[in-house]
Chain A
Amino acid sequence: MTARPAPARRLPAAGALPGDVGMWVFVLGDMVIFGAYFVIFMVYRAHEQGSFLAAQRHLSLASGALNTLLLLASSRFVALAVAVARAGDYRRARRLIGGGGLCGCGFLLVKAHEWYALVSAGLTVQRDNFFMFYYAFTGVHLFHVLAGLIVLVIMAAELRRPAGGRSWLVEAGAIYWHLVDLLWIILFALLYLMR
């Protein structure tokens, strides 16, 4: 083997759990909570499939797809930030987290525009069961995005500390952000795509 650059300082041991156990408890539990929501949604949908399909046509597929791309891109930024931080380049890691945060803010703007357009067209939460689920689920997800933006700020602040701060904290934040992304992908499929 030729000489390689000094090994990355903080590569976790093979098989080690990134982040901390508490965050995994949270993420898996949150997925169970949302899983129950999705099952309840499917039960209602099975009972009134026609009206759900009719209501679904009012959603803007372009907005949903744009938001999916924004969150996927932000997840990519955050994943790269963790990799770069492990290699010791904290400044670049912070910039990448900033990129992830910008995508997250873009998501908020697209969502706000989408809600505004729907409400202006008279498609409010009281219109039918589909929109009841739509606003409730996207609302709770939006709360997750807002919390995620705070988490990204905490991650960036931690990376500003000497030697990049606590690596588990940065990893735990990234795990949470991926959860936000994953939940949206399921929501996008359930609310926008499923025929």
Chain B
Amino acid sequence: MTAAPPAAQAGAVARRGSGRRLRDAWICWWVFPPFYTLFGIIFVPLTRVMPPPGPAKTTAQIVVFFQAHALTIQVGFAILMLAIGGGSVVNGLVAYQIRRMTVDPVFCYAYIATLAVGAIPGCLFCAFSFLAATFRPDRDPHLIALCYDMGLLTFVGSLGCFATQYLIFAVAIFLDRNKIFPAWLGYVSIWQVVTELLAAPVFIFRGGPFAWNGAISFWEGTALFGVYIACLIMASRKALQRQPPGEVIAE
């Protein structure tokens, strides 16, 4: 670049630039619904992780489970490896909206970091445990049972990793004076913390409501997570609609 452009021209560039920024944000928003739909297809009918098969299964039953679903587990998690980045786009969009709030940027960084920590036990570890179990079906059945426990314990038990993320998000919403997200979304976020407290006992129980497939630890938490995601998708859409095209975020 040579000489700096005149001020008027610079302003035009900034406006055009921010207009494009909003279009970019909309592209990210459109990743949101298909990503969670795909997520549901992978985890429910394909890999059978949700609803989770029970912790009380015998070793022989676990071997039969993996034999029956080997192909769909492998196909489902292969698709997950290709699509997992979609989660980062979706979370990036929310982090971007937190950046637009009046709260300190540390909330945005903490939000991203807590999700990065949670993604490993909450999603990837389970995938690799199940993939390892189906990779060599002739393996010692006890090792296959170990893969089963590791996969499902991390998948449901890691919910607590996200409690901090929900809390950070809620506090940011409450403190924000720009009102990027409505206050009720902060409260919905707090419910997630409550349900995740009750996912913690999965490490102790092999049956009943607090097991990893239990009515309280799994079903109620998952139902509320569905409500939360639906609210988040709608609220991010509203936030983008209300965002002025020329807005400049203080760096």
Interface residues of A (CB under 8 A from B): 20-23, 25-26, 29-30, 33, 36-37, 40, 44, 125-126, 129, 132-133, 136, 139-140, 143-144
Contact = CB atoms under 8 A, between A and B. Distances in A.
A26 B190 contact: yes
Contacts of A140: 194, 197-198
Contact of A26 (B187, B201, B205, B216): B187
The 3 closest A-B pairs by CB, nearest first: A26-B187, A22-B183, A22-B184
A33 B220 contact: yes
Contact of A37 (B201, B205, B220): B220
A26 B182 CA distance: 13
B224 interface: yes
Interface-central residue, B197, B204, B209, by most chain A CB under 10 Å: B209
Nearest to B223: A36
B191 A26 contact: yes
Given A40-B209, A126-B204, A26 B184 contact: yes
Given A26-B190, A125-B201, A136-B210, A21 B220 contact: no
Given A132-B208, A136-B210, A22 B220 contact: no
The main secondary structure of chain A at its interface with chain B is helix
B183 A143 contact: no
Nearest to B187: A26
B195 interface: yes
Nearest to A139: B197
Interface string B189-227: 011001101100100110011100001100010001000
B71 to A, nearest CB: 35
Given A26-B184, A37-B216, 5 more contacts: A21-B183, A33-B195, A37-B220, A136-B201, A139-B197
Interface of B: 182-184, 186-188, 190-191, 194-195, 197-198, 201, 204-205, 208-210, 215-216, 220, 224
Nearest to B208: A129
A36 B220 contact: yes
Contact of A132 (B182, B184, B201, B224): B201
A29 B187 contact: yes
A25 B231 CA distance: 13
Given A26-B191, A40-B215, A126-B204, A143 B184 contact: no
Interface-central residue, A26, A30, A129, by most chain B CB under 10 Å: A26
Given A26-B184, A132-B205, A33 B194 contact: yes
B204 A125 contact: yes
A29 B188 CA distance: 8
A25 B188 contact: yes
A30 B191 contact: yes
A144 B190 CA distance: 11
A20 B179 CA distance: 14
Nearest to A126: B204
A29 B231 CA distance: 14
A125 B200 CA distance: 13
A26 B190 CA distance: 8
Given A20-B183, A36-B220, A30 B194 contact: yes
A20 B182 CA distance: 12
A143 B188 contact: no
Contacts of B197: 139-140, 143
Nearest to B214: A40
Nearest to A39: B215
Contacts of A29: 187-188, 191
B84 to A, nearest CB: 30
B229 to A, nearest CB: 15
Contacts of B215: 40
13 contacts: A22-B182, A22-B183, A26-B190, A29-B191, A30-B191, A33-B191, A33-B224, A37-B216, A40-B216, A44-B209, A132-B201, A132-B210, A136-B198
A136 B183 CA distance: 28
B35 to A, nearest CB: 25
